[in-house]
Amino acid sequence: MDTFSNLIGGEWTEGPGITENINPSNTDDVIGRYAQGDAAQANAAIAAAKAAAPSWARTNVMVRHNILKAAAAEIFARAKELGDLLAREEGKTLAEGIGEAGRAGQIFDFFAGECLRLAGEKVPSIRPGVEIEITREPMGVVGMITPWNFPIAIPAWKIAPALCYGNTIVIKPAELVPGCAWALADILKRAGLPDGVLNLVMGKGSVVGEAILSSPDVDAVTFTGSVATGKHVAMKCAEHMRKVQLEMGGKNPLVILDDADLDIAVDCAVNGAFFSTGQRCTASSRLIVTEGIHDRFVEATIAKLQSLSVDDARKDGTHIGPVVDAKQLDTDMNYIEIGRGEDGARLAWGGERLNRATPGFYLQPALFTETSNDMRINREEIFGPVATVLRVKDYDEALAVANDTRFGLSSGICTTSLKYASHFKRNAEAGMVMVNLPTAGVDPHVPFGGRKGSSYGPREQGRYAAEFYTTVKTAYQLA
């Protein structure tokens, strides 16, 4: 079986430990053996990134462009194979995996272009004979801690802008999905990235992640993951007065009004709530439905759920793959029990553990109806294929319920009314708003991020990524 090492200072380096990457669709299938780094390896990676930073910051933009472009080209060429690896290690369907790999390619492509569009400003001073230049400079060494649910897209949307704007990197991917991050590191190394510019240290959050957070030589940290770990990351960064960017959870509402197109509403709900096994921070976990369409919507949604196949992620015809691991499955089952125990709530569909041909973490999507917004299943992020329906009187109540959450990542509405669509776009307390579209599923070239407890710090993706990956310099000169 193949063994995969960490990349430190341009050298593939075995870890002090090793871990098996397991397929959640078939726990007998071991994808590979991956290095598990320790604090010493993390520190060596940080030192390598620090040493490489000055020259990478000055690298000709055409060189950066060529490397990012070559990486994009290889990702596109290998999208099927990378998508298969992704589906095998994370459990989203093959089609979703290939789509995500393609998206990683698009992100590298976008930032390859951005390398050639870097610019500053020259402005007149209020003092005679003085010229002012405003420029952006790289942050330096960026620490990246990534989650398991988008194993290639999230590393890509942190690595590509970091490199474009001249930073060096130490990345620690989630323990469950080292394969895609390793593949990206390998692609970038072969694309000609100089030694030490990108360092990959796989391993535990409490060991490698903690070492990144504790190092005075890391200039900025970007994190995607849970709220609890995100808070810890922010506190550690405050200790070092270090720039930080956090993307965390969601409890995203999808409002369905009486005047909605029922087919669009059901598609948005089922896709948003259950595709990718509901394991997206942008998943529509609260379906807020007005009275006039409520019963028709619930009936049609259940009919659609009945037609979906939950099975091996890489099997033809699978709509929903397994839950990522035993721990997440326990969490999901636990919340389903909590929901069943709530006064009034009804488990209208699913929620059963499923057996398939191979041992895997299969769970039937669960839909609760007659829920209220104060129930735990409506307050806490579950991160699985579990959604609730909340019955509301009218648009005003729907909007109030949609915003009554400590999260604020993505908010959706299904309506044919221009008035309500426009009002919702202005008044939804979220970083992203979707009209007649699922709450999940975003473009790669525009800002991504949320409000309230969902995000902290500057936005990711598109040109807005520069806010995090650069620092502004204002230079004055007597001409």
Residue numbers annotated as active site = 247, 281
CB closer to ligand ADP out of 121 and 239: 239
Long-range contact set of residues 343-352: C-beta below 8 Å, sequence gap at least 24: 344/370, 344/371, 344/372, 345/369, 345/370, 345/371, 345/372, 345/375, 345/377, 345/388, 346/370, 348/298, 348/302, 348/389, 349/301, 349/302, 349/305, 349/306, 350/305, 350/385, 351/386
Residue 146 binds to ligand ADP (criterion: CB under 6 A): yes
CA-to-CA distance for 110 and 112, rounded, in angstroms? 5
Residue 145 binds to ligand ADP (criterion: CB under 6 A): yes
Residue 174 binds to ligand ADP (criterion: CB under 6 A): yes
Residue 35 binds to ligand ADP (criterion: CB under 6 A): no
Residue 225 binds to ligand ADP (criterion: CB under 6 A): yes
CB closer to ligand ADP out of 230 and 360: 230
Q: How, if at all, do strands 455-456 and 470-478 pair?
A: unpaired
CB closer to ligand ADP out of 147 and 444: 147
Burial class, 466, CB count within 10 angstroms (exposed 0-12 / middle 13-18 / buried 19+): middle
CA nearest to 369, candidates 399, 339, 337: 339
Q: Out of 151, 196, 205, 272, point to the residue binding ligand ADP (CB under 6 A).
A: 205
Helix (H) or strand (E) holding 36: strand 26-36
Residue 229 binds to ligand ADP (criterion: CB under 6 A): yes
Q: What is the DSSP letter of 311?
A: -
Residue 249 binds to ligand ADP (criterion: CB under 6 A): no
Residue 209 binds to ligand ADP (criterion: CB under 6 A): yes
CB closer to ligand ADP out of 146 and 415: 146
Q: Out of 59, 66, 226, 427, point to the residue binding ligand ADP (CB under 6 A).
A: 226
Site stretch for ligand ADP (CB under 6 A), options 57-65, 203-211, 280-288, 351-359: 203-211
Site stretch for ligand ADP (CB under 6 A), options 167-175, 314-322, 357-365, 386-394: 167-175
CA-to-CA distance for 396 and 114, rounded, in angstroms? 42
CB closer to ligand ADP out of 145 and 254: 145
Q: What angle do CA 411, 412, 414 make, to 5 degrees?
A: 160
Residues lying near ligand ADP in the complex (CB under 6 A) are found at 145-148, 172, 174-175, 205-206, 209-210, 213, 225-226, 229, 232
